[in-house]
Structure 1
Amino acid sequence: MIELKTPQEIQQMRPAGKFVGQILSDLKKMTKVGTNLLEIDNFVKNAIENRQGASSCYVDYAPDFGTGPFAHYICTSVNDAVLHGVPYDYNLKNGDLLSLDLAINVDGWVGDSAISFVVGDAAEEDLRLIKSTEEALAAGIDQARAGNRLGDISSAIGEVAASYGYDVNLEFGGHGVGHIMHGDPHVPNDGRAHHGYRLRPGLVIAIEPWWLSTTDEIFQDEKDGWTLRSADGSRGAHTEHTIAITDGDPIILTARD
């Protein structure tokens, strides 16, 4: 069921979004060649434990698309991994493409966001891939206005992907956000403009373009039962914000520094 938030409830969601955005900003600054993925996970754990009213949306999360409960505080996807990456004992290498996806509940409301960046020296193709998801996110947010339709957001995202020559996988995409992390509606990363649910003030959604450089096929890593990797070993990027639709411009609740 699609739920609409009141203006007051949207204001109540701001602390969660700000907290998530700040942690991702801090992680991008501190992550370097040699940083261990478990260090990143522990940083988030400590931040949540030190914030009154905060709790992880990931620990013990057990949806039907994962194998067993997720046991960490953040998703860390490296290179050919693009979604749901499980942190493990791995020291990041020069040139690694890292995607961080983070959702936290603060005082009963969720903020959900993701960033991708290269650790150390960056290959031009990796920067191009990341830039495409960032541009797609901006295009999707620009269409998140009352009176438009859900397909306008999806179409805008898909058009950016196509302009860069990337194929879009539709198995996972954006979603409603509120008291829970994943709610209605589903927000595909490609679609038909002027079709679908009519956007209304009070709708809060996560818009999250993600794709891979040379394929749209993914598989689940059997070792951890969660990490989604490209079928051909190519790299992926993932960018996400939680936004609120209003009578005017959309509000980016997870804005980062």
Structure 2
Amino acid sequence: MILYKTNEQVELMQISALLVSQTLTEVAKVLKAGMKTLEIDKMANEFILDHGAVPSFYNYNGFPAHIITSINDVVVHGIPGKEELRDGDIISVDVGTIKNGWHGDHAYTFVIGDASPEVLKLVKTTKESLFEGIKEAVVGKRLGDIGFAIQNYNEKQGYGVVRDLVGHGLGQSMHEDPQVANYGRKGSGTMLKENLVMAIEPMINMGTKDVFLDKDNWAIRTADGKPSVHFEHDVCVKKGQALILSDYSIIEAAEKANVNLNTSYY
């Protein structure tokens, strides 16, 4: 069952979404080669708690960390640990918060130091495809229009669009109806109505779309070991133009100011 929000509830959700953006901004300020992902997790958790919220992911279905850090061929659900980031790595940082009873949940992929042109192109295309999907998140369109826009944008470049993982509705639960696939047919699926809030999140692989579950029973990896990129925004369906509840601009400003991060794909 899809739960449509009131305008007041959307405003509360925006507070949670912006706290995620602020947390990702703090991460963007300090990311560098040699840093352990466990350090990022500790910092993010403290920042969220200091701002009167709690991390959504901690102990969610038993997940053992506060945020998700997925490196290179890990598509999603990477557990922060003692592994050190290396020059040329890409890392998707996925953060969730609960504040005032409402969830925010989105992700951003960062490039550490020098990376190949092929990797930079994958990051650029995946990020652009997110906004192609968001353009379709308006009253009167259908879920399939979002999926088609993302799929078409990426497959034109020869990339694999993951089928096993999808975006989702968002609210007082982290995962609500509907499922928001990154593939689909124009004009198919649920009709979009005002104040449906969704996490739209393309997960795009350089090679095959196929993935597998790692032995830790959390990390999802690409079947061919090639890199994967993940971007995610919290979006509210509106008439004419979607309302993006999260904010990439503050993340991007911190990312550009950090000499250890590669933003040459902009």
TM score, norm. by length of structure 2: 0.91
Matches within 5 A, 1:93-108: 93-108=86-101
In the alignment, which residue of structure 1 is the partner of 2:57? 58
Q: Structure 1 residue 226 and structure 2 residue 218: aligned?
A: yes
Deviation at 1:227, TM superposition (A): 0.5
Deviation at 1:247, TM superposition (A): 2.7
Q: Distance in 1 between matches of 2:238 and 2:224?
A: 41
Q: Distance in 1 between matches of 2:31 and 2:19?
A: 18
Deviation at 1:29, TM superposition (A): 2.3
For structure 2, the 5+ residue unaligned runs are: 251-266
**SS of alignment partner, residue 149 of structure 2:** helix
Sequence identity, in percent? 40
Which of 182, 187, 191 lines up with 1:189 in the alignment? 182
Q: Distance in 2 between matches of 1:163 and 1:177?
A: 30
In the alignment, which residue of structure 1 is the partner of 2:22? 22
Paired AA for residue 186 in structure 2: A
1:222-249 CA-partner distances (Å, limit 9, x unpaired): 1x21001111111100000010112342
Judge conservation of contact 2:20–2:97 (CA < 8 Å) in 1.
yes
Deviation at 1:221, TM superposition (A): 1.1
Task: Count residues in correspondence.
Answer: 249
Which of 137, 140, 147 lines up with 2:140 in the alignment? 147
Segment of structure 1 superposing worse, 136-145 or 42-51: 42-51
Matches within 5 A, 1:1-257: 1-52=1-52, 54-62=53-61, 69-222=62-215, 224-256=216-248, 257=250
Q: Distance in 1 between matches of 2:94 and 2:123?
A: 14
Q: Distance in 1 between matches of 2:161 and 2:238?
A: 28
Q: Distance in 1 between matches of 2:162 and 2:240?
A: 31
In the alignment, which residue of structure 1 is the partner of 2:259? none
Paired AA for residue 167 in structure 2: G
In the alignment, which residue of structure 2 is the partner of 1:65? none
Deviation at 1:214, TM superposition (A): 0.9
RMSD of equivalent CA atoms: 0.9
Segment of structure 1 superposing worse, 245-254 or 188-197: 245-254
Paired AA for residue 132 in structure 1: T
Q: Distance in 1 between matches of 2:49 and 2:141?
A: 40
1:201-238 CA-partner distances (Å, limit 9, x unpaired): 0100000001211111111111x210011111111000
For structure 1, the 5+ residue unaligned runs are: 63-68
**SS of alignment partner, residue 164 of structure 1:** coil
Deviation at 1:255, TM superposition (A): 1.1
Q: Distance in 2 between matches of 1:136 and 1:78?
A: 20
TM score, norm. by length of structure 1: 0.95
Give runs of ≥4 in structure 1 deviating > 3 Å: none
1:155-206 CA-partner distances (Å, limit 9, x unpaired): 1001111111112121111100000111110011110011110000010000
